[in-house]
Structure formats: C-alpha cells, structure tokens
Amino acid sequence: MKLAFRIASRFLLSSRGQTILILTGIIIGVSVQVFIGSLIDGLQKSLVDSTVGSSSQVTIESVERNQTFPLSDDLLADLDRRSDLTAVSPVFSASAFMVDDEATWPVLMRGFDFARAEPIYKTEAQLAAGRLPAGTGEVLLGTGLAELTGYTVGDTLMVLTPSGDTRDLLISGIFDLKVASLNETWLLSDLATTQALFAAGDEVSAVEMQVEAVFAADETASLLADSLPADLKVTDWKVENEQLLSALSGQSASSYMIQVFVLLAVLLGISSVLAISVVQKSRQIGILKAMGIRNRTSRQIFLIQGFLLGLIGALAGVGLGLGLSAVFSTFVRNADGMPLVPFYFDPVFVSLSFLIAVAAATVSSMIPAGKSAKLNPIEVIRNG
Amino acid sequence: MADIIRLEKISKTYGTKVKTQVLFDIDLAFAEQSFNAIIGQSGSGKSTLMNIIGTLDQPTRGEIWINQIRTTDMNADQLASLRNETIGFIFQFHYLLPEFTVMENVLMPWRIRGLPVIKEVRDRAEELLDTVGLSKVHNNLATALSGGQQQRTAIARALINQPKIVLADEPTGNLDSATTDTVYQLLRQINRKMKTTFIIITHDKRVAEQADRIVEIKDGRIEMDVRNPI
C-alpha cells in the first residue's frame, strides 16, 4: 500500500497540468453541489421560518369548533416541562366589533400572555409605534386598522362583543405583522382583559406552541394528543400547510437531481482522465510489473490516485461551495437589506457531500484500476 | 556448475485464427555464473525466448525451471515475486520510471519486494551507482540523463536485489560504440564480481565473441550453440 501510495502521488505530481485540470473539475463539481444544496436548504429553512416561524406550529384546541375550554394549571405546567416545545402560549380569541360614533369595524380580539407569546409572534419586534400592553385594559392595533379608523397610540377605542357588552381599551401600540388581513382585523390584548371582556372566566380558545424540531411537529402533536383529555385535539402546521410541504419536497427532489447529475459529471470526468492516465502510464506499469509489482498493487496505484483526487477536490470544493453560499447571502439582498437567502451551514449535509465525493472518486477509479491490473507487461515490452 | 535456467521443449505460437509459430521445441540450459549471448536476426524468436525465460511471456508448450523452481503452474503473483527476487531485467529501451530520480529508480525493485530501505540497502545502491559511474547524478530525474546514463541506471536497478540472473535484451541497441563497450565491460565485471548469470541478446558480433557461450537462434530453432574457449 505504501509503495502504491508513493507511486500514485508521484504520478499525480509529475502530470501536474492534468492533475490540476481534473482537480478543478472536481472542485467545481463539489462546490456547485454544496452551493446548490446549501442554497436550497437555506431557502427552505427561511421559507418555513417565514411561514410558520412566527405562528403556532402545534395547537391544542377543543374538538368542537370555536369552543373554549378550561386550561388547568397542571396541564400548562406539564406542557412547560416538555423539552420538545420551545414556547407554550394560551390564547383567547373571539370576534367582536370596534365601534365609534360613525362606524363599526369587525375585529378579532386575541388575548395573550405577552411574555409567553413573545417567542412565537415576536410582537415587540413588529411594533410600528408605542409599546406592548403593560396591564389590563390596554390593546394593540394593527397598522391597517389604524389607517382605516384614524386611531393612534394613546387613543381609547370601544369594543362591542356579540353579547352586547362594551368596553373601552387604551391603545398602547400599533403592530405591523406584514400581513394585510391581520393588520386590518386583529386587536391584541392581554389574556385576562380578553377573558373578562367575553366573560369567559379562565377558559381559553387554544394553546399555541412552537416546537424544537419544526419538521417533526406532527410527531410532537401525536405524542401530545395521547396525553390530553378526549375533548381536546391537537393540530400541527404540517397538516395545515400541505401545499407548502409538497412544494418544498418538490424543490428538494429537483435539488437532489441537480446534485446527482453534477456528481455524475464529476465521476465521469475522473474516470475518463484516469483511463487516459492508465494508457499514458502503461509503459511505467509494464516495467513495474516486469520488476515484480503485483496486480493488486498496480490496481491500488489508480485507486489511490482516485482517492487522493477525490479527497483534495472534495475538501477544496466544500470550502469553495460554502464560500460561494456565504458570498451569495452577503451580497444578494432584498430591498429591505435582509439576505435573499440566508447562509445556512448544515454539517451533516456538508460531511455527507464530502464523503460521497471522496467515495465516488475512488469508485470511479475502479475501471482504470482494473485496466491497470490487467495490463500485461509483455505488451509494453514487445512494443517498445 | 549447476543449471540455473532450464528450458524443456519450449514452443510458442502467436495468434488464434492465423497461427504463427515462433519457437520450435527449444531445449536449452544455462549454467550458474555464466555469461551468455543469444544472437539471431530480427524475427528469429530470440526476444520471445528471452521474455519466456523472464516469465513475462508464457510458452504455448514446454516447461521452464528457474533456479530449480518449475514455473509452469505458478500464478501471476508467484511469478511476480520470482521475477522480483531472482531476475534483473535490462531492456533495450531503458524503461526507467521518468517520475522518479535515479536513486529512486534503482531502489524500486527493493521497494517492490516490500522491504524497508535501510542504510545497508541505500549503501548498496550508492555502490552500484558508483560502479556504473553515476554517483554524481543520483538525485536527478531519470529523464534528465543521457541514453548511456539511463542504460547504466537500468543496470544498477537490475542488480539492486542481487538477482541470480540478469536478462538483457539488446542493452546497447540504442548506444554509440564507445558507450556500448563501457556497458559491456561493466556487465562482464559485474558477472565476475557478483557471480550473476547473464543472458544477453545482442546483434553485436564483437560483444557476442566475448561471452562464455553463444547461442544462435534462427527461425525459432537453435542454429548454433558454441562455448567460447577463453
């Protein structure tokens, strides 16, 4: 093996131009593969994040539609203890009207414990003006609704419930959730204020949660469902976003296809260059065999060349691919200055790409290696 | 002196559809430590005979004993080991490895043997290079040498494993007459000093006349086999 390595590395070094050419091929191939893989991965992560990153990923609701249910302290404490959940936020939602002397606007009142809801909705970051409600009797207004009604921070608005109760609430801030329909219809207040407004006691309409592993939300949901009373059900974002998921898996599939074909092109490149190399070095292989080198060793000479090319090419290729991804996310930005696709480094994907490239390079040298093993020294010696 | 190489009824036929027989029932033996010349015209079959003696080619019929070992039933690996340990080759076209230096080329058969290059071996390589007059260029790449230097490197390489037999096929075919003389003096000197058996194919009558024995091959048969009285 040592001798084969010595000869293989010397062969590679002596045909420097050829080695650089094939290395460049591998580096470009592997870097394109890593770049595309990371890009698609990053794109999907950012897509999922923008779709469900700021909303409930797993939700406990009553089995019956629009029914509230009592949330026991024990259940809440149990949910808080679970390590697969990153945020647990009870919420009370109900339809109402915002009224003044001239007009009426339909709204959805949503009551949160703002401390608990913050990891899910990042409300504070989405405030266009003012501050979060500090105590009971305060409310946040969407930018759309603020425009429609002309209300602003510090004003008092009146809410009318379906049962005819009214209540004045002080506007502590204005939010912008970047979704027009929500900005025009939502009123956010604290849980106690909302429950009191609708005379709901301690009941909630849902418990909204975020999970540690976004794509395993369905598994977390089904685990949760097992431990809940029969009148409660658990839904997860995957059920509600089937179209997105199918788009993502379609995207993944096309990304895999591109990666496979890029890799295949690299393999064919290595294989053909090494096949030429066997012909070029047949004189040397022939004389080595005349001197007593074994067929196994002459095979190893080309396998090791494939391995070395793969190793160096994959290392540099992975580096270049990640570099390209970083450059892409740094310089290709949206109008708001955020990266179009955020840089995403998945160590598992990158290590796998590296290992596959090295293994594939070694495997693709098997045909030339076989030729080298079969080469009969007499052919070289007889023909000069 | 015992025979180190023995050929029994060696025949060689090339081709499957159109058969060309190049060797016809050759019986031949070479004594240990002898210096032999094989002569013959182009196409007479002498190179084929040499390749068969060197186990690089297999006879169609007949048997070969090298160093009292029957080679007929040996597999490729066993033949490779036999070649590595028992036979040194010197070819007409030098066949050095251009990727390696002179010293590395000389040490190659030793490395193929799978043994570590200890100081003693390196000293032996230096001594061989000194003998062939190349001690000053041992770190040069093989391609940086003249034809004569390359051939002398090939001689040093053929001797590094201290083989019992050296097979040389027109070792001076590409060299001028002065260099040819130097190389033959060298081979003869090595034959005397190291007791190595030499079998040399040559066109050069003057060289053949200095050998202990001359075997002439004509049309695949032994035409003449004479022992030199001197």
pLDDT, one tens digit per residue, over A201-253 is 888 999 999 988 888 888 888 888 888 888 888 988 888 788 888 888 888 88
Strand, coil or helix: what is B228? coil
Touching check for A14 and chain B: CB below 8 Å? Answer: yes
Q: Which of A202, A167, A207 is nearest to A187 (CA)?
A: A167
What does the DSSP 8-state code read for residue B143? Answer: G
| ipTM of the shown complex | 0.90
Closest CA to A310 of A34, A23, A35: A23
CA of B217: how far to CAs of A8, B48, B52, B95, B223, in Å? 41, 11, 14, 25, 5
CA distance B153 to A98: 102
Report the residue of chain B nearest A384, measured CA to CA: B93
DSSP string, B9-56: EEEEEE-SSS-EEEEEEEEEEEETT-EEEEE--TTSSHHHHHHHHTTS
Residue A176 CA to residue A167 CA, distance in Å, equals 24
**Selection from A287, A291, A370 nearest residue B111 by Cα:** A291
List, for chain A, all residue ranges whose pLDDT scores fall below the cut of 70. Answer: 383-384
Spatial distance between the Cα atoms of A362 and A348, rounded to a whole number of angstroms: 21
A283 neighbourhood in chain B, CB within 8 Å: 95
The beta-strand segments (E) located in A271-367 are: none
Q: Which of residues 159-188 of A touch B (CB under 8 A)?
A: none
Q: Do A287 and B97 touch (CB under 8 A)?
A: yes
The pLDDT value given to residue B228: 75
What SS3 class is residue B163? Answer: coil
| pLDDT score at A122 | 84
Question: Which residue did the predictor score with more confidence, B176 or A362?
Answer: A362
pLDDT at B79: 92
Residue B54 phi/psi, 5-degree rounding, is: -80, 5
The CA–CA distances, whole Å, from B62 to A130, A210, A353, B53, B222 equal: 105, 84, 56, 12, 15
Rounded to an integer, the average pLDDT of B9-36 is: 90
Q: Do B77 and A294 touch (CB under 8 A)?
A: yes
Q: What is the dihedral of CA A318, A319, A323, A325, to 10 degrees?
A: 10
Q: How far is A318 from chain B (nearest CA, A)?
A: 31
Please report, as a single letter, which amino acid is at residue A87.
A
B109: nearest CB among A286, A292, A296: A292
Helix axes of A295-331 and B76-86: crossing angle, nearest 10 degrees: 100
pLDDT in tens, B50-100: 999 999 998 999 999 998 889 988 998 999 999 999 999 988 776 789 999
3-state secondary structure at position B95? coil
Cβ proximity of B137 and B87 under 8 Å: no
| Cβ contact B109–A295 (<8 Å) | no
Instruction: Tell me which H or E stretch contains A156.
Output: strand A156-160
| pLDDT over 60 (residue B230) | no
Contacts of B4 (CB under 8 A, 6+ apart): B30, B31, B32, B66, B67, B164, B165, B197
Domain boundaries, chain A: 2-51+244-383, 67-204
Q: Report the Cα B71 to chain-centroid distance in Å.
A: 17
Sign, CA torsion A179/A181/A183/A188: negative
- Write down the pLDDT at residue B194: 86
Q: Are A311 and A302 in contact (CB under 8 A)?
A: no
Predicted confidence (pLDDT) per residue in B113-151, tens digit: 988 889 999 999 998 898 888 888 888 898 888 888 888
Chains A, B: CB pairs < 8 Å = 69
Separation in Å, CA A186 to CA A5, A97, A111, A180, B13: 70, 11, 10, 10, 97
Whether this prediction's pTM lies above 0.80 is answered by: no
A299 to chain B, closest Cα gap in Å: 13
pLDDT, position A304: 93
What is the rounded CA–CA span in Å between residue B89 and residue A125? 83
